[in-house]
Amino acid sequence: MTTERPPHSRRTVLRAGALTGLGLAGSAVAGPSRAAAAPADGGGYLVGRGLADATGEVAEVGMMGYGRFDQQAAGLHTRLRARAFVVVDEASGRRVMLIVADSPMIFSSVHQAVLRRLGEAYGDLYTEQNVLITATHTHAGPGGYAHHLLYNTTTFGFHRKTFEAVADGLFEAAQRAHDDLAPSGLVLSHGTLTGASVNRSRSAFERNPKADRDHFPDAVDPHTTLLRVERAGRVVGAVNWFPVHSTSMSGDNRLISADNKGYAAYHWEREVHEVDYLSDGSPAFVSAFAQTNSGDMSPNLDLEPPTTPEDFDRTRTNGLRQYEAAAAQVRQPGVGLSGPVDSRLVYVDLSDVTVRPEFTGDGRTHRTSKPCVGASMAAGSLEDGPAFPGFAEGENPFWDAVSDSVVYTVSPELARAQAPKDVFVPIGEMNRVYPWVQERVPVMLVRIGRLHLIGIPGEVTICAGLRLRRTVAGIVGADLDDVLVAGYANAYFHYLTTPEEYDAQQYEGGSTLFGRWQLPALQQTAAELATALRDGTDLPLGPEAPDLSGKALSLQPGVVLDAPPLFRRFGDVLVGPRENYRAGERVEVVFAGAHPGNDLHRGETYLEVQRQEPGGTWRTVADDGDWATRFHWKRDGIAASRVTVTWDVPREAAPGPHRIVYHGDARGVTGTITPFTGTSPAFTVR
């Protein structure tokens, strides 16, 4: 049947406090809502939390992360969220904002857009100096939202709808965090998590000095850190940092997904706490699972890429492990934070840094170079999902034979500066014609009491992260555990390895664009930031990244026309459900649909699972942001679409009549977009 869209979305229902018992059961380790005793009442902080939808296009857009042209999105597994936290030191009035986004990367395009929106709303209250934006690095998110061409190659150019959805979602989360500011305690704790990561580049790791290797006896960084927010003795928010790639979802997956870190946050917020909004509209609990130095940390413990459908189980398992390690820390006293809130950010032209002898390790001065892509980068990370055929990690004798004349014709000096990298693409030279990759990058240092976060715009290996952390800790006088790398922050420059790892030219070394001395250059910058933070002095901003918003190329045409199948109407049920289902079974309904790109339904939903109440009212029990639902889109001929909605019946599902509702939007011949709704026949959960 086709009906008019309901006047309220699921979010309205949640705000009314009517939804409970969503999805799967909570794990055996359910984070308590009341905190363990901790001296958290003397910090003098105002803290705000915000949560918003930042999902972009879910159909016919290249997915970001694996670099595969064939990985075009065809539906939605879980929505991508942005979670924001603002911390204000009441004594000084200084503040910082942390945004953690279920996103593949934070490109400078998004960083600049969010800062512009913040400036328009709040003046100079939030600027590049005190806003740290990081990504969880899911490899199952839509791409096309960068202003640098390399990242839009698999998406056939820039996708404005996805860009606006990401920027608007991050800004909305920031607004909500600002509005939520209230006296709060902050408690910091540390733990150990094993069995959730493995070093995918062990041969490169083993090249590091013994002092580095001894810090990670199993070649993994098991350090898990939790910053929890408390009000009136209750935990109302948490940020967890743990290094592991969000590559539990495979390159064969075609559904947009928040991957393992997104599931960890979703589970804590909506499966453990059950309701994500209170009756006054404020979030009941916000949990972010952020990245640190995860450059060589894979979730695929067998060092084999996952395959569909096992990637769904792997995602949930890894996410639960991260959640359990974080929730276990809530039962620990932790350390109540107090003291200053402060931050610094500078821009560095990584293509032209003179690195002083005290940071190079060999007593000599060295220089970074223009960025270059290595042959081993083209190979991809074989443990998580290979890229181009014909390339390998490490030595590439065939490419050596083919490329020597090409590379040296381009620039013998550049080839020497990048050695021993087999240069696949001298992409810095291509930047002269069109911006392919970013060269002027932001580096940031944030302090919240004793916690220090080093904002690095890329993928940092655990030993490279260790050296950055030691550099900062030694200057500011902090415990090493309290100094973390915040990876994927504010921009993206690919990887960061130690010089010793670089020499191995595994995938991570081939993806360290600015040459062997890139890490020492950033240690030098981190030292300057730490010194300024310690001494209360300012630093010159440096060469800001240019605004490239007017140069983005869009090559993929948009939706031209939607038409229902012959003799059908939009929203008609093509394949209906069975009459009865039990817990653990999958409900599947196929609708005559339309292209999901006509309306991204940000902050809303493409689907609802509804249960009939005793009085006859239909109540929403799940939507397209839930783990138990999936939304599949498939083109049917030229202009028609088939939409398949599935729901895995949870074991806690209340018995009784249920139905599936699909919300679509059809584009007519004049370009007008008309919303419609399809509703399945009722079925009974027993």
Catalytic positions, written as ranges = 298
* Cβ neighbours, 10 Å, residue 116: 14
Q: Count how many residues are written for the chain.
A: 686
3-state helix, strand, coil in the chain (%, to 5): 25, 30, 45
Those residues whose C-beta lies under 8 Å from the C-beta of residue 565, and which sit 6 or more positions away, are 574, 592, 636, 637, 640
Distances (CA, A) of 356 to 78, 183, 367, 643, 685: 47, 44, 9, 59, 69
Q: 639: number of CA atoms within 13 Å, CB side?
A: 12
Cα angle, residue 144 at apex, residues 634 and 557 outer, rounded to 5°: 55
Q: With contact defined as beta carbons under 8 Å apart, do 102 and 169 qualify? A: no
Q: Is 322 helix (H, G, I), strand (E, B) or coil?
A: helix
Residue at 398: amino acid letter: F
Q: Angle formed by the axes of helices 160-179 and 108-122, to 10°?
A: 40
Those residues whose C-beta lies under 8 Å from the C-beta of residue 252, and which sit 6 or more positions away, are 71, 307, 308, 311
CB neighbour burial string for 642-675, b if at least 16 within 10 angstroms, e if fewer: bbbbbbbbbeebeeeebbbbbbbbbbeeeeeeeb
Rounded to the nearest angstrom, the gap between the alpha carbon of residue 589 and the centroid of all alpha carbons in its chain is 30
Distance between CA atoms of 253 and 196, rounded to whole angstroms? 21
Distance between CA atoms of 539 and 647, rounded to whole angstroms? 54
Residue at 104: amino acid letter: P
If we measure between CA atoms, which residue out of 356, 345, 354 comes closest to residue 539? 345
Q: 353: number of CA atoms within 13 Å, CB side?
A: 29
If we measure between CA atoms, which residue out of 315, 262, 298 comes closest to residue 135? 262
The two three-digit tokens of residue 220, written as one number: 């993994």
Distances (CA, A) of 2 to 9, 211, 591, 665: 17, 67, 10, 12
Those residues whose C-beta lies under 8 Å from the C-beta of residue 279, and which sit 6 or more positions away, are 15, 16, 17
* Cβ neighbours, 10 Å, residue 401: 9
